[in-house]
C-alpha cells in the first residue's frame, strides 16, 4: 500500500513539474556579439511589439530568428564603429526587417557609443514615404534607392531627423508640406524661427494682416522651449476666419494641453510661466473654442482643419479640440494592449470615446479635414473621430489631400506602465514603439497603411506649385465648404 | 470533447455491467477560486491575484461498492484571476491596470473515490483528471488606455478567442474530498472541495520561447445526488 502511494505521489510530482520555465533572457552585460544582440532584440520584440496580427500573422517571426541568427553569428563580436564592415552588415540586417514593419511610429535607434549625435535610426514610416516619393516622380523604386536610404542614415553631419536622401528632403510632401510651410507658402506668413501675431481682438481682428482673412492669429514657439520635460520648440498654430466666413485651423502638433496647463499652474501670472509663448497659445486657443462652441452664432459657414505635416502629440488635446463637434460621447476607435509577453496575448478591445459637448448639439456645418503622409498619431485619431461623426450622425465631413501616415498606436516614455512599448538594449538605444494597437471603431486597421482621402478628394502633392503659392489641397477644401453655401 | 463524452459513457456502462453497484446523479454548484501561474515574463510592477468565479455541474457517480466509486459528469467552471500593474511616476506609485480575467470552460472530470461512512454520513477522497474546452474569455476592469472612459472599467469585455493562438483545450489533474449525508433512499446532500491543477497552458505553442500561463482552481461545492438504480 505504501509503495503504491509513493509511486502515485512520484507520478503526481512529475506531472506538477510539467510547466516549462519561461524564456531565458540574457543579462545585458553578456551582450557582446551581434548574435547575442539580435537574439535579445528578437525576444524583446516578442513582448513589446503590439502589431503581430498585422506583421508576421502566420507566426513567421520565428522563421526570422532561425534565418538571421546564423547570419549574425558569422559577424562575431560587436565592433562599435559605423565604418566597420560587420557593423554595417549587421545594421543592414536590422534595417531590412524594421523597414517593413507596419508600426507607423516605429524607430529603431542605434549608437556605437554614447557620443552626442552619434545615434542613427531606421523608421518604417519614413521608408514608406520615401518609396511613395520615388514612385510619385514616375519611376519604380529600386534596390539602389533602398541602398541610398540605408546609407543616408549614417550621415551624422545632418540633423538627426533629416538623415535622408537629399531629393527626398527637398521635394517630398513628407518633408516639406507642414504647418510652417503652409503658413509661408499659402498664407504669406514667414515666421523663421519664431513669432507671434498680436492676438486678435474685437477692435483689431486681423493684427497680422493675413490676406484673405477677416480674423486671424498665429504663433510659432521658438526653438529650445520646453514644457514638462517635452520639447515644444517649433510648435506652430494658426486660427482664422476667412473673408467668406470659413474657420481655418492649422497646427503642427497636439501640444495645446501643455501650454494650457502651464497657464493654469502659473494662474495667469506671466512671470511664473515656464514657456513665454503659453499666454499667446492660450489666448488663441480660447478664441478657437469661443468660435467653435457656437459656429452658427458666430456666422461660420464651415470649418477647415489642416493636419498636413502634423506629427501628433498629447492625446489629452483631442477632447479639448474636437468635443464641441460631438453631440454625445462617441466611440470612434478601439484599443488593446499586451496581456503577457507572448506575441499574440492581448487584452480585450476597448472603445476609445470622444466626449460629447455639454449642449448635446452638432455644429451642423461642413467640415473639411486636410491630411498628408506626415499626418500621424493624434492627427489620424482626429480623422477617425470625424469619420465616426460622419458615419454615426451623418455630419458633412470630407477627407481631403493625401493619405495619412498609418501610425495609430499611443506611446509612453514612462517605464513599467505597460508590458508593451518602447524598450532599449545595449547599443540599441531605443526602440520607439506604441504600447497599444488601435483600429477604427468598425475594426478596420490603418496601421502601416494610412487613411485615404475621400474619393474625388485625393490631390497629389506638387512641390513646385506648393512653393509658388498654389495650394491645390487647401483650394479643394475651401471649394468643398463653398459647395454647401 | 464529444468523443471524450462518448468514450467516458461507454467506459462507465462497461464498468457497471461487470459489477453490482448503483448509479447516482445530481446537481452541484459552488464557488471557485482561481490561481494564476505564469512561467517567465516577470516584471516589477505587475502582480496577479486570486480570482473568484463559480461552477455548476451535473455529477454522475457509479458506486461499485461501499468504499469505491467512480465519479464523472459534466461541469461548467469559471476560472478567474486578477492582474494589476503599478509604476513610479514623479515619486508616486500609480496603479494603471486592474483587470479581472475569467476564462469559461465546459469540463468532463473522471475521479476514483474512496469512501468511509456509517450509512448516513459518508466521507470521501478522490483523485483523477479532467478534460475540457474553453468557450469564452472575458475581462473587466481598468486598463487605462488612451481615451477609454472610466466607466469602461465597469463593463465586461469579451476577449475574442483565436483558435490559432489561444489554447481552447484544457486538461489537468484533480484531487478532491467531501462529506455527505444520506437521506435513506431519497439521496445524498454533500459538501466537497476540489483542487484542479491544469496541465495545459492558456496559449498554444505558436512561437519559440513562450511564457507559460496556467490557471489552477480550488472549488467548494454543495451538491445533491439521488440514486438512479442498481443495488444499494
pLDDT bin (cut points 50, 70, 90) of residue A30 is confident
pLDDT on residue B220: 98
pLDDT over threshold 50, residue B86: yes
Q: State which residue of chain A sits closest to B165, comparing Cα positions.
A: A344
Q: Band the pLDDT of A4: cuts 50, 70, 90.
A: low
Q: Is B46 on the interface with A (CB under 8 A)?
A: yes
**Can you say whether the dihedral through the CA atoms of A426, A432, A434, A440 is positive or negative?**
negative
Mutation target for A interface from B145, B155, B202: give the one with most A CBs within 10 A.
B145
Does the pLDDT of residue B3 top 90, yes or no? no
Q: What is the ipTM of this complex?
A: 0.88
By percentage, how much of chain A surpasses pLDDT 70?
Answer: 96
- Say if residues A277 and A227 touch (Cβ distance below 8 Å): no
Given a contact cutoff of 8 angstroms between Cβ atoms, the answer to whether B140 and B78 are in contact is: no
Please determine, for residue A395, whether its predicted confidence score (pLDDT) is greater than 50. Answer: yes
Cell numbers for A404: 495619412
pLDDT in tens, A410-445: 999 888 899 999 999 999 999 999 999 999 999 999
Spatial CA neighbour of A435 closest among A451, A471, A411, A402: A411
Q: Which residues of A148-164 are buried (b: 16+ CB within 10 A; e: fewer)?
A: bbbebbeeeeeeeeebb
Which one-letter DSSP state was computed for residue A376?
-
Identify which of A321, A301, A325 has the alpha carbon closest to the alpha carbon of residue A310: A321
Helix (H, G, I), strand (E, B) or coil at A345: coil
Q: Does B197 touch chain A (CB under 8 A)?
A: yes
Angstrom distances, CA of residue A366 to CA of A215, A299, A301, A403, B96: 20, 13, 7, 20, 39
Of B143, B209, B211, the CB nearest to A350: B143
Average pLDDT of chain B to the nearest whole number: 91
B37 contact residues in A (CB cutoff 8 A): 19
Three-state SS for A393-431 is HCCCEEEEECCCCCCCCCCCCCCCCCCCCCECCCCCCEE
The per-residue pLDDT for range A187-209, each reduced to its tens digit, is 999 877 777 777 898 888 988 88
- pLDDT (average), residues A24-36: 84
Q: How far is CA A156 from CA A111, A145, A151, in A?
A: 11, 19, 11
Residue B81 confidence (pLDDT) above 80: yes
B171-217 pLDDT, tens per residue?
999 999 999 999 877 789 999 999 999 999 999 999 998 999 999 99
> Which range among A25-29, A123-127, A364-368, B177-181 shows the weakest confidence by mean pLDDT?
A25-29
Radius of gyration (C-alpha) of chain A in whole angstroms: 25
Distance CA A327, CA A364 (A): 10
**Which is higher by pLDDT, B1 or A189?**
A189
Predicted confidence (pLDDT) per residue in A289-314, tens digit:
999 999 999 999 999 999 999 999 99
CB-based contacts of A353: which residues, under 8 Å, 6+ apart? A329, A330, A331, A332, B147, B148, B149, B152
Q: Within 10 Å of residue B160's Cβ, how many Cβ atoms?
A: 10
For the record, the C-alpha cell of B24 comes out as 447516482
Q: Do A315 and B37 touch (CB under 8 A)?
A: no
- The CA–CA distances, whole Å, from A94 to A102, A382, A428, B59, B209 equal 15, 33, 11, 57, 21
Residue A403 dihedral angles phi and psi, to the nearest 5°: -60, 140
- Give CATH for domain A177-410+435-482: 3.90.226.10
**CATH 1.20.1250.20, domain B2-230, yes or no:** no
Q: How far apart are CA A345 and CA A364, in angstroms?
A: 42
Give per-residue pLDDT as tens, A194-251.
777 778 988 889 888 899 999 999 999 998 899 988 899 999 999 999 999 999 999 9
pLDDT at A484 over 60: yes
Sign of the Cα torsion B108, B110, B114, B120 reads: positive
Order of all β-strands in the sheet with A195-196: A195-196, A213-220, A236-242, A246-251, A302-306, A367-371, A397-401
Q: pLDDT at position A427, please?
A: 95
Query: Which B-chain residues 160-189 have CB contacts (< 8 A) with chain A?
Result: 160, 162, 165, 173
Q: What's the pLDDT score for residue A208?
A: 85
Q: Where are the domains of chain B?
A: 2-230
Set of chain A residues whose Cβ sits within 8 Å of the Cβ of B201: 19
A32-63: per-residue pLDDT in tens?
999 999 999 999 999 999 999 999 988 899 99
User: At CA A323, angle to CA A317 and CA A328, rounded to 5?
Assistant: 140
Residues 6+ apart with CB under 8 A from B187: B24, B26, B224, B225, B226, B227
- CB count within 10 Å of CB B85 equals 22
Q: What residues of A are in contact with residue B199 (Cβ under 8 Å)? A: 15, 18
Cross-chain residue pair B85–A416, CB shorter than 8 Å: yes
Question: Where do the structural domains in chain A lie, given as residue ranges?
Answer: 30-173, 177-410+435-482
pLDDT per residue as tens digits for the range B117-149: 877 899 999 999 999 999 999 999 988 898 998
- For B215, other C-beta atoms within 10 Å of its C-beta total 26
Q: What is the pLDDT of residue B17?
A: 58
- Tell me the residues of chain B between 62 and 121 that have a Cβ less than 8 Å away from chain A: 83, 85-89, 96-97, 99, 101
Give the C-alpha distances (Å, rounded to integers) separating B220 from A97, A286, A417, B52, B191.
Answer: 52, 61, 36, 12, 7
Asked whether the beta carbons of residue B203 and residue A337 sit closer than 8 angstroms, the reply is no
A105 vs A142, B21, B200, CA distance in Å? 24, 69, 36
Q: How many CB pairs under 8 A join A and B?
A: 137
Structure confidence at residue B11 (pLDDT): 66
Q: Say whether A342 and B44 touch across the interface (CB within 8 A).
A: no
Are B173 and A410 in contact (CB < 8 Å)?
no
The dihedrals phi and psi of B174, each to the nearest 5 degrees, come to -125, 140
A314 alpha-carbon distance from chain centroid? 10
The grid coordinates of residue A370 equal 486636410
Contact B43 A418 (CB under 8 A): no
Nearest residue on chain A to B172, alpha-carbon basis = A15
At B232, the pLDDT band (50, 70, 90 cuts) reads very low
CB atoms within 10 A of CB B49: 15
Contact A337 B143 (CB under 8 A): yes
User: Is the CB of residue B181 less than 8 Å from the CB of residue B120?
Assistant: yes
pLDDT, tens digit, for every residue of A273-293?
889 899 999 999 999 999 999
What percentage of chain A has pLDDT greater than the value 90?
80
pLDDT at A99: 98
Contacts of B89 in chain A (CB under 8 A): 414
Give the residue from A118, A116, A127 showing the smallest Cα distance to A94.
A127
Task: Kindly report the pTM of this predicted structure.
Answer: 0.91
Residue among A12, A61, A344 whose CB faces B173 most closely: A12
Q: What is the mean pLDDT of chain A?
A: 92
DSSP per-residue string spanning A153-208: TT-TTS-GGG-S-HHHHHH-HHHH-SHHHHHHHHH----TT-EEPPPP-SS-S-TT
User: Which one, of A20, A18, A26, A29, lies nearest residue A44 by Cα?
Assistant: A26
Give how far A361 is from chain B: nearest CA, Å. 20
For residue B1, pLDDT beyond 80 = no
| Dihedrals phi, psi of A30, to nearest 5 degrees | -85, -5
Amino acid at each position: 500500500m505504501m509503495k503504491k502511494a509513493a509511486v502515485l505521489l512520484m507520478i503526481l510530482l512529475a506531472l506538477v513539474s510539467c510547466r516549462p520555465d519561461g524564456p531565458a533572457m540574457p543579462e545585458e552585460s553578456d551582450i557582446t556579439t551581434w548574435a547575442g544582440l539580435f537574439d535579445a532584440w528578437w525576444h524583446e520584440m516578442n513582448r513589446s511589439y503590439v502589431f503581430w496580427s498585422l506583421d508576421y500573422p502566420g507566426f513567421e517571426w520565428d522563421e526570422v530568428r532561425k534565418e538571421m541568427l546564423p547570419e549574425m553569428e558569422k559577424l562575431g563580436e560587436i565592433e562599435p564603429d559605423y565604418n566597420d564592415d560587420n557593423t554595417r552588415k549587421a545594421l543592414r540586417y536590422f534595417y531590412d526587417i524594421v523597414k517593413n514593419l507596419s508600426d507607423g511610429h516605429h524607430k529603431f535607434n542605434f549608437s556605437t557609443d554614447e557620443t552626442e549625435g552619434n545615434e542613427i535610426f531606421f523608421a518604417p514610416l519614413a521608408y514608406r514615404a520615401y518609396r511613395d516619393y520615388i514612385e510619385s516622380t514616375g519611376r519604380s523604386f529600386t534596390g539602389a534607392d533602398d541602398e541610398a536610404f540605408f546609407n543616408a542614415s549614417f550621415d551624422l553631419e545632418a540633423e538627426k531627423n533629416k538623415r535622408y536622401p537629399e531629393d527626398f528632403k527637398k521635394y517630398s510632401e513628407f518633408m516639406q508640406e507642414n504647418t510652417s510651410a503652409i503658413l509661408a507658402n499659402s498664407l504669406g506668413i514667414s515666421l523663421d524661427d519664431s513669432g507671434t501675431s498680436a492676438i486678435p481682438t474685437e477692435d483689431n481682428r486681423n493684427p497680422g494682416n493675413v490676406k484673405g482673412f477677416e480674423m486671424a492669429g498665429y504663433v510659432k514657439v521658438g526653438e529650445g522651449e520646453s514644457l514638462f520635460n517635452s520639447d515644444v520648440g517649433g510648435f506652430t498654430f494658426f486660427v482664422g476666419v476667412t473673408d467668406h466666413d470659413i474657420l481655418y485651423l492649422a497646427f503642427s502638433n497636439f501640444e495645446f494641453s501643455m501650454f494650457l496647463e502651464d497657464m493654469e499652474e502659473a494662474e495667469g501670472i506671466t512671470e511664473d510661466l515656464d514657456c513665454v509663448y503659453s499666454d499667446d497659445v492660450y489666448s488663441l486657443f480660447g478664441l478657437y473654442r469661443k468660435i467653435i462652441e457656437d459656429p452658427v452664432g458666430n456666422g461660420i459657414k464651415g470649418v477647415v482643419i489642416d493636419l498636413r505635416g502634423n506629427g501628433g502629440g498629447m492625446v489629452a488635446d483631442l477632447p479639448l479640440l474636437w468635443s464641441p463637434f460631438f453631440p454625445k460621447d462617441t466611440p470612434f476607435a478601439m484599443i488593446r494592449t499586451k496581456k503577457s509577453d507572448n506575441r499574440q496575448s492581448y487584452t480585450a478591445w476597448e472603445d476609445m470615446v470622444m466626449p460629447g459637448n455639454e449642449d448635446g448639439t452638432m455644429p451642423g456645418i461642413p467640415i473639411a479635414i486636410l491630411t498628408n503622409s506626415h499626418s500621424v498619431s493624434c492627427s489620424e485619431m482626429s480623422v477617425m473621430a470625424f469619420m465616426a461623426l460622419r458615419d454615426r450622425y451623418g455630419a458633412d465631413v470630407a477627407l481631403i489631400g493625401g493619405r495619412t501616415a498609418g501610425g495609430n498606436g499611443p506611446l509612453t516614455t514612462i517605464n513599467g506602465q505597460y508590458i508593451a512599448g518602447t524598450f532599449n538594449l545595449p547599443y540599441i538605444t531605443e526602440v520607439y514603439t506604441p504600447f497599444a494597437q488601435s483600429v477604427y471603431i468598425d475594426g478596420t486597421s490603418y496601421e502601416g497603411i494610412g487613411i485615404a482621402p475621400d474619393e474625388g478628394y485625393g490631390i497629389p502633392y506638387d512641390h513646385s506649385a506648393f512653393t509658388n503659392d498654389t495650394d491645390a489641397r487647401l483650394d479643394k477644401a475651401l471649394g468643398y465648404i463653398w459647395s454647401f453655401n | 470533447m464529444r468523443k471524450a463524452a462518448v468514450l467516458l459513457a461507454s467506459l462507465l456502462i462497461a464498468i457497471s455491467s461487470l459489477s453490482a453497484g448503483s448509479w447516482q446523479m445530481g446537481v452541484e454548484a459552488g464557488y471557485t477560486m482561481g490561481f494564476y501561474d505564469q512561467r517567465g515574463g516577470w516584471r516589477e510592477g505587475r502582480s496577479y491575484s486570486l480570482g473568484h468565479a463559480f461552477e455548476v455541474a451535473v455529477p454522475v457517480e457509479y458506486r461499485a461498492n461501499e468504499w469505491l466509486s467512480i465519479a464523472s459528469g459534466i461541469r461548467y467552471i469559471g476560472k478567474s484571476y486578477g492582474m494589476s500593474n503599478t509604476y513610479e511616476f514623479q515619486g508616486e506609485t500609480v496603479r494603471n491596470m486592474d483587470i479581472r480575467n475569467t476564462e469559461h470552460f465546459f469540463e468532463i472530470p473522471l475521479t476514483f473515490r474512496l469512501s468511509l461512512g456509517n450509512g448516513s454520513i459518508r466521507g470521501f477522497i478522490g483523485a483523477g483528471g479532467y478534460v475540457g474546452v474553453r468557450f469564452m474569455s472575458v475581462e473587466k476592469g481598468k486598463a487605462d488606455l488612451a481615451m477609454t472612459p472610466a466607466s469602461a472599467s465597469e463593463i465586461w469585455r469579451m476577449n475574442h478567442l483565436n483558435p490559432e493562438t489561444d489554447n481552447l483545450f484544457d486538461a489537468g489533474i484533480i484531487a478532491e474530498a467531501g462529506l455527505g449525508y444520506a437521506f435513506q433512499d431519497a439521496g445524498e446532500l454533500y459538501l466537497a472541495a476540489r483542487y484542479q491543477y491544469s496541465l495545459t497552458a492558456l496559449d498554444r505553442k505558436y512561437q519559440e520561447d513562450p511564457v507559460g500561463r496556467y490557471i489552477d482552481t480550488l472549488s467548494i461545492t454543495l451538491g445533491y445526488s439521488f440514486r438512479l438504480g442498481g443495488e444499494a
